[in-house]
Structure 1
Amino acid sequence: MPFMKGPAPIRRTIKYLEGARLALKDQIKIMTINYHVTAPHHQGTKDFVFWYLPQIQYRNPNVQIATLKNLTPSPFVRCFYDTGHEMLIDTFGRTKEEIHEHLINVIGKQKDVLEAETIAREKKDNPANFGTLCERHCICEIPGQVPCPGTCPLPKHWRGKYKYNKVQE
């Protein structure tokens, strides 16, 4: 499989990408990560970009994320809000886990907000939903729909075996 080639191919699996813990706040529109490739005190930021950035991009598709390499002497993360404000987060000398935890606390959504969003996403009272766990068991219960053939037989000209095969009774 070609997607399993390269350094750490686990980063390209759906299970890994869905395991992201950082869901950025809705106000954040752009996030930039600045670091230097060869400096030793930038290693944590470099590892953070390698391991956590694909997860963050997968979890936050509406946020533009850019990495700027070899431009600054010290590593940092800059977040731009939709109000025009920006936030600088220093990552000098931190490990990838410390950076990740700090970003979750500072620019991540709160746990109660995430729980409310998951409940709203799983809400079952939509009238278009039907099935075993919904208000209606079958689409035939909605007014204007064709009744179930098990309870009320369909007219012969509506059934394919009579219409296309010209079966006569």
Structure 2
Amino acid sequence: MESPVQLKIVEFALSKLPDNGHDSITAIISDVLVSDIPLSKAIELSHPGSVALLDLVWMRSLRDMEHSRWTVAKLLQSEKDYYKWEFSLALVQAIRRADVKMVQWILTHFSNCLVEKEVVEEAAKGGHLWVLQLLAMAIFESISKIAFEQR
């Protein structure tokens, strides 16, 4: 049940305890703390350039698909409309932060999502040409993939 990343605050809090099982306890507590955090909130809580919390939320969403109980994390993989909504919301938040690493992470992890007008407007409003270039490349790759699959 070990998570790929652990919350630094949990690591710090447990650093005073004896080392017996420290890593697994840290992973379990981190996992519980992110069970109901939407990806867009993870962006808000992350340090600039850090995608560790995004990875933790994403991995939780994939793992929760295997269980019948409901979690916010599970929505990310099970509800198409929520998936697309989080894609747009997360992109807008990452663009507002001018965080290229997060924008790239979002574009890499989400597939088959249309880039909403609000996302493009946010990039233009902030003067983030690099975002517009990344979005154009992502759109071009999607179109190329569709064209290749239709052959």
Bigger helix share? 2
Taking structure 1 as the reference length, what is the TM-score of the superposition? 0.22
The structure having more radius of gyration, on CA atoms, is 1
Task: With a CA cutoff of 8 Å and minimum separation of 6, indicate the structure with the bigger relative contact order.
Answer: 1
TM-score, normalization by structure 2: 0.23
Structure having the larger proportion of residues in strand: 1
